[in-house]
Amino acid sequence: MQRFIAKRALQSLLAIWVMSLIVFTLVRVTGNPLDVMLPLEAGPEDYARVSKHWGLDQPVYVQYAIFLGKAVQGDFGNSWKWHGHSAMGLVWQRLPATLQLAGFALLVSVVIALPVGVLSAVMKGTVWDTVAKVIALLGQSLPAFWLGIVLMWIFAVNLGWFPTSGRGGIQYMILPAITLGWFQVAAIMRLVRSSMLEVLDSEFVKLSRIKGLAEWKVVWKHCLRNAAIAPLTFFAIIAGVLMTGSVVTESVFSWPGTGLLVVDAVRARDFQVVQAVVIVFAGIFILTNLLVDILYAYLDPRIRYQ
């Protein structure tokens, strides 16, 4: 188990390094940040001066070496847009809001999707199952920005039940969390349903019925744990979807998280901040994957004892 974790940790570091290379290159293809930073009337000497100040006159590989050298110490440079703030400082400042929203969205979606998925498998072919299928279909075909705007229009603007934007008590979280979690509800539900159906058909389920075990115990003890193994892989993906989803959702609801931050940073060509956000997102994504692998091993003894 220790070796397994050590190996996975090493792979994770490698993945983050590759990620840094990609994001470093990508932000530089989007255009010259000085075009945004400097006023329109700025002349070539202004360009040269600011370029030198930020180290943008160096060859790209030197820039990358400097970036990497500082990044391993957690220093992603200073923001160009938000003067006086370090890029990492901004990310840390905004991250709790994003994690709060994503965590809440995940919680809500699991709490809804798991029982619905299990029940629609158990009651396969009934009205209940059909209703669940329709919800799943809607969930996977509605784009998040559209859903966000519609929810806001109905429940915040017209009915006035929830605030339209910003961060505050739980009432501020409901609409963004539904927007962010909706897709997950549908996906988790479908996965749970299909793996549940498979498990319900297995011989060990028949044996537990032959023993005289009550049906609810057959479902929730014998099936669920087996059925949870397959969808678990998906949780690693969900971590990614939630983070990319936060960009859209936070923009719609002006939720002051890293998603909103990165949108503003991209508009301002604030490389430093974009790089910091992407690396932190990648880090979170990889960490979630690692946790999922460990959870896997916990749920499935066949992996634990390899």
Partner 1 sequence: MSRRIGDVILEVDDLHTYCFTSYGVVKAVDGVSFSLRQGETLGIVGESGSGKTMTALSLLRLAPRPTARIVKGSIRLGGEELLTKSEREMRAIRGRRISMILQDPQTSLNPVFTIGNQLIEAIKIHHPDGHRSLVRRAIDGLKQVRVAAPERRVADYPHQISGGMKQRVVGAIAISCEPRVLIADEPTTSLDVTIQAQYLRLLREIQQATNLGLIFITHDFGIVAKMCDRVMVMYAGRAVETGSVRDIFNRPSHPYTQALLNSVPSMDDDIARLYSIAGQPPTLWDLPEGCRFAPRCPHADDRCRHEYPRAFSVGEGHTADCWRLEKEWTPRPFSASTG
Residue 121 and residue 201 in contact, taking contact as beta carbons nearer than 8 Å: no
Q: Is 216 in the site for partner 1 (CB under 8 A)?
A: no
The one among 25, 202, 244, 254 contacting partner 1 by CB under 8 A: 202
State how far the Cα of 278 lies from the Cα of 101, in Å rounded to an integer.
18
Q: Is 206 in the site for partner 1 (CB under 8 A)?
A: yes
Find the shortest distance in angstroms from Cβ 198 to partner 1: 12
The one among 137, 207, 244, 267 contacting partner 1 by CB under 8 A: 207
The torsion region of residue 221 among left (phi > 0), alpha (psi -120 to 50) and beta comes to alpha
The one among 214, 220, 244, 267 contacting partner 1 by CB under 8 A: 214
The one among 3, 29, 73, 305 contacting partner 1 by CB under 8 A: 305
Please report, for residues 6, 71, 286, 304, 306, the alpha-carbon distance to residue 3 in angstroms, rounded to integers and kept in the order given: 5, 27, 18, 12, 11
State how far the Cα of 259 lies from the Cα of 231, in Å rounded to an integer.
26
257: which DSSP letter? S
Buried b (16+ CB within 10 A) or exposed e, 286-303: bebbbebbbebbeeeeee
Stretch that binds partner 1, among 143-151, 184-192, 235-243, 297-305 (CB under 8 A): 297-305
Q: How many residues does the chain have?
A: 306
Residue 64 and residue 24 in contact, taking contact as beta carbons nearer than 8 Å: yes
Q: Which is nearer to partner 1, 287 or 297 (CB)?
A: 297
Tokens standing for residue 8: 């996975």
Q: Which is nearer to partner 1, 59 or 301 (CB)?
A: 301
Give me the phi and psi of 220, to 5 degrees please.
-85, -25
Find the shortest distance in angstroms from Cβ 117 to partner 1: 18
Q: Is 297 in the site for partner 1 (CB under 8 A)?
A: no
> Per-residue contact track with partner 1, 264 to 293, x per CB under 8 A?
------------------------------
Q: Which is nearer to partner 1, 180 or 219 (CB)?
A: 219
N-term to C-term CA, the chain: 9
Q: Which is nearer to partner 1, 48 or 207 (CB)?
A: 207
Comparing CA positions, the residue from 233, 248, 244, 243 lying closest to residue 289 is 233
Find the shortest distance in angstroms from Cβ 98 to partner 1: 34
State how far the Cα of 242 lies from the Cα of 285, in Å rounded to an integer.
10
Which of the residues 116 through 135 are near partner 1 (CB under 8 A)? 125
Give me the phi and psi of 86, to 5 degrees please.
-80, 150
Stretch that binds partner 1, among 150-158, 205-213, 236-244, 271-279 (CB under 8 A): 205-213
Size of site (CB under 8 A) for partner 1: 23
State how far the Cα of 270 lies from the Cα of 31, in Å rounded to an integer.
11
Q: Which is nearer to partner 1, 70 or 304 (CB)?
A: 304
> Per-residue contact track with partner 1, 17 to 56, x per CB under 8 A?
----------------------------------------
Binding footprint of partner 1 on the chain (CB under 8 A): 125, 202-204, 206-215, 222, 225-226, 229, 299-302, 305
